[in-house]
Amino acid sequence: MLDDIAEAGADETWCLGDLVGYGAQPDECVALAREACEVCLVGNHDLVVLKKLDINTFSLNAALAAQWTQENISQEALDFMQELEPAEGGRDVGLFHGSPRDPVWEYVLSTLQADACIDAMDARVGAIGHSHVALFFNRDDGGQVRGEQAPAGTELDLSSGRWLVNPGGVGQPRDGDPRAAWLLLDLGSWTAQWRRVEYPIAEAAQAIERAGLPRALADRLYRGE
């Protein structure tokens, strides 16, 4: 994916959080994000590994993965994540792990939610993560809100209205397309392009199984769910 980002000519790379959580290579993921990303947010799975969230609020498989990560992650990776925040303002694009209303926990998956989140956002355009689903929401100048999933190749003009955009998931997409998802934003022309890249899913799945993590976490990678 980073090769695709470089070929696209991106000036900066932003990570919207959840560096760790379901996979078996937390140190490698944190190191890669630290090296490659100019901006990196903290996600709820990072926060539970840091023991800032109650592990009992997570699903069984997510809790098992978090516990395994706590037992296997390096102090260096923990120290890096410790300094991250779940949201960042002060840019032309608002950045949130979850949403403008709740940067840690809210999954924005409906137009009703998106409308309220747009009201809570200072920036005209916001980027959100958390759901692992590539999608967008737009409120036009007349106040109408629409939202759709954004399959690979979707290109949109963001120059008018207010927007929430979600690039989808890198390591564990949940929209039926197992390829790594990312979003190219051009802030000069205000255009957005959703992109997908093949990655070695079998290697990631095998690492999960070797680590003794739940088999379901490996199997879902092949299905993009």
Domains delineated in the chain: 2-223 (3.60.21.10)
Q: What is the pLDDT of residue 223?
A: 96
Q: In the predicted model, what is the mean pLDDT of residues 148-158?
A: 98
- Contacts (Cβ under 8 Å, ≥6 apart) of 94: 87, 88, 100, 121, 122, 123, 125, 126, 127
Q: In the predicted model, what is the mean pLDDT of residues 177-194?
A: 97
Alpha carbons 71 and 48: distance in angstroms, whole number = 12
Q: Which two tokens stand for residue 33?
A: 């994000």
Alpha carbons 200 and 188: distance in angstroms, whole number = 34
Alpha carbons 159 and 203: distance in angstroms, whole number = 40
- Cβ proximity of 87 and 41 under 8 Å: yes
- Total-model pTM: 0.96
- Cβ proximity of 45 and 56 under 8 Å: no
Q: In the predicted model, what is the mean pLDDT of residues 97-106?
A: 98
The phi, psi pair for 44, rounded to 5°, reads -65, -35
Helices assigned H by DSSP within 73-110? 75-82
Give the strand pairing for 14-15 and 39-40: parallel
- Cβ proximity of 135 and 174 under 8 Å: no
Q: In the predicted model, what is the mean pLDDT of residues 100-122?
A: 98
Alpha carbons 201 and 205: distance in angstroms, whole number = 6
Q: Which two tokens stand for residue 160?
A: 């008018």
Report pLDDT digits (tens) over 7-44.
999 999 999 999 999 999 999 999 999 999 999 999 99
Q: What is the pLDDT of residue 85?
A: 98
Alpha carbons 151 and 135: distance in angstroms, whole number = 8
Report pLDDT digits (tens) over 203-224.
999 999 999 999 999 999 999 9
Q: What is the pLDDT of residue 207?
A: 96
Q: What is the pLDDT of residue 23?
A: 95
157 half-sphere exposure, CB direction, 13 A CA radius: 3
Sign of CA dihedral 69, 167, 3, 81: negative
Q: What is the pLDDT of residue 168?
A: 98
Mean of pLDDT over the chain: 97
Q: End-to-end alpha-carbon separation of the chain, Å?
A: 19
- Cβ proximity of 176 and 222 under 8 Å: no
Q: In the predicted model, what is the mean pLDDT of residues 95-110?
A: 98
